[in-house]
């Protein structure tokens, strides 16, 4: 069971995409796993032939447990002790033990007739909330129904649908909120943050972007966020101590520049999947990746590598009206870059004052790994890169 974030402790196999004897290549999606952050497509990290499936759909196991064994080149990986399914806590107990017979029949009949793909936890939640699964459109991988879908359906049934998006769940509700709370508490408890901020003139970047977009069809248009992400990625080349992980009391530099994007989910909560190798991609590729990632994050089609590989996080709260972001580092990462909203502000240059579009860029970094001098150089590099957008 891969760790899909510092806050993940357990995962439940929803479905296998492979069977014993299947040949798999590194990166193939082999299973669907439900976590507190939704249903995730799990990719295999070695090529070979599936030998056996150790964990069955519906079983909840801890991070690190062996899910399957893989052979193919003469090697056979034996299951580790951790593969034993955990005894689920009350909230995750097997459905059949808790559902009243009549409701079991209803749920099962609905499943069989419509061939619904429902995660075990979602099925249990549906029983608790008396929601008919056959009436729900799943947003998980391949349309599978996740807990969030069930809770939305239950909420819709209780009250007329509001004209605006429902508010995010309260702090005491929702598994996702709890895991975010755990990760952020760990971050603030263990990571000695330091914060730096700079204000960047975006005149040239926005002018370049407007001219570029005027030439492009709508399907190829660029958002300014792509420029910011690209600038961060390139700037990290010269500041590797901000790109990586703090593990076992030492820093391990990232093997690539994989930028996690803090993406708010429409049903509430936050997830930060990564775009891989940002410094090696041009703006068109980055834009395409960004649109794809946001769409999949919001429809529950993320892959395990996207949740586990991020080497730094970028959060842009400018659209929410925030001027300056004071971020909390997502452990085990060691830095987070925040961007606020673009505002016209007085700007003095060559003895003249004018109004220019400005943005506050902030860095929250781990003082165990870097210091303000290096952090400052990093922000300066981002600024310089954004003054020459045509080179990004």
Partner 1 sequence: MTETELRQTIKQALSNVAPEVDVDAIDPAKDLREQIDIDSVDFLNFVIALHKALGIEIPDADVPKLGTLSGCVSYLAAKIEKGQ
Query: Quick check: 164 binds partner 1 (CB under 8 A)?
Result: yes
In the chain, what is the greatest distance between 2 CA atoms, to the nearest angstrom?
80
- Span near partner 1 by CB under 8 A; candidates 102-110, 117-125, 215-223, 307-315: 215-223
Query: Quick check: 161 binds partner 1 (CB under 8 A)?
Result: yes
Cα–Cα distance, 104 to 37 (Å, whole number): 26
Query: Quick check: 344 binds partner 1 (CB under 8 A)?
Result: no
State the residue for tokens 């709260």.
317
Kindly state the number of chain residues that form the binding site for partner 1, as judged by CB under 8 A.
27
Q: Are 83 and 59 a contacting pair, CB within 8 Å? A: no
Query: Quick check: 135 binds partner 1 (CB under 8 A)?
Result: no
Query: Quick check: 162 binds partner 1 (CB under 8 A)?
Result: yes
Residues 256-279 as b/e (b if ≥16 CB within 10 A, e otherwise) read: ebbbbbbbbbebbbbbbbbbbbbb
**Which residue's CB is nearer to partner 1, number 102 or number 163?**
163
Query: Quick check: 92 binds partner 1 (CB under 8 A)?
Result: no
State the residue for tokens 């600038």.
231
Query: Quick check: 49 binds partner 1 (CB under 8 A)?
Result: no
Sequence-distant contacts of 314-318: CB under 8 A, at least 24 apart? 314/228, 314/229, 314/232, 314/259, 314/260, 314/261, 314/262, 314/338, 314/339, 315/261, 315/262, 315/339, 316/225, 316/228, 316/262, 317/341, 318/342, 318/359
Query: Quick check: 291 binds partner 1 (CB under 8 A)?
Result: yes
Encoded tokens for 149 = 């879908």
What is the nearest approach in angstroms of partner 1 to the Cβ of residue 299?
A: 9
**Which residue's CB is nearer to partner 1, number 186 or number 298?**
298
Query: Quick check: 159 binds partner 1 (CB under 8 A)?
Result: no
What is the nearest approach in angstroms of partner 1 to the Cβ of residue 341?
A: 12
Among 90, 100, 102, 165, contact with partner 1 (rule: CB under 8 A): 165
Which stretches of the chain bind partner 1, using CB under 8 A? 139, 152, 160-166, 210, 213-214, 216-219, 221, 223, 225, 264, 266-267, 290-291, 294-295, 319
């Amino acid at each position: 069971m891969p760790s899909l974030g510092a806050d993940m402790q357990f995962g439940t196999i929803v479905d296998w995409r492979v069977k014993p004897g299947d040949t798999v290549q590194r990166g193939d999606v082999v299973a669907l796993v439900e976590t507190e952050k939704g249903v995730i497509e799990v990719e295999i990290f070695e090529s070979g032939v599936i030998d056996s499936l150790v964990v069955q759909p519906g079983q909840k196991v801890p991070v690190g447990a062996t899910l399957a064994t893989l052979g193919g080149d003469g090697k056979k990986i034996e299951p580790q002790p951790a593969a034993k399914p955990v005894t689920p806590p009350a909230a995750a107990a097997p459905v059949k033990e808790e559902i009243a017979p009549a409701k079991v029949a209803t749920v099962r009949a609905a499943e069989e007739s419509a061939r619904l793909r429902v995660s075990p936890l979602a099925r249990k939640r549906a029983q608790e909330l008396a929601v008919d699964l056959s009436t729900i459109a799943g947003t998980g991988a391949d349309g599978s129904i996740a807990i969030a879908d069930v809770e939305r359906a239950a909420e819709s049934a209780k009250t007329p649908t509001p004209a605006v998006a429902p508010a995010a769940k309260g702090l005491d509700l929702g598994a996702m909120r709890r895991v975010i709370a755990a990760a952020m508490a760990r971050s603030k408890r263990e990571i000695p943050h330091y914060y730096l901020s700079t204000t960047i003139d975006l005149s040239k970047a926005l002018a370049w972007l407007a001219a570029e977009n005027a030439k492009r069809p709508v399907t190829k248009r660029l958002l300014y966020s792509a420029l910011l992400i690209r600038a961060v990625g390139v700037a990290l080349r010269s500041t590797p101590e901000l790109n990586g992980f703090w593990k076992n009391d030492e820093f391990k530099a990232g093997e690539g520049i994989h930028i996690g994007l803090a993406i708010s989910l429409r049903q509430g909560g936050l997830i930060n999947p990564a775009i891989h190798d940002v410094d090696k991609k041009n703006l068109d590729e980055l834009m395409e990746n960004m649109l794809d990632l946001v769409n999949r994050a919001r429809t529950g089609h993320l892959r395990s590598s996207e949740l586990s590989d991020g080497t730094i996080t970028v959060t842009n709260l400018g659209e929410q009206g925030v001027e300056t972001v004071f971020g909390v580092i997502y452990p085990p990462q060691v830095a987070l870059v925040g961007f606020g909203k673009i505002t016209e502000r007085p700007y003095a240059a060559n003895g003249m004052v004018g109004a220019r579009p400005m943005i506050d860029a902030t860095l929250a970094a781990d003082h165990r790994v870097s210091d303000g001098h290096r952090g400052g150089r990093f922000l300066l590099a981002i600024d310089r890169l954004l003054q020459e957008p045509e080179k990004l």
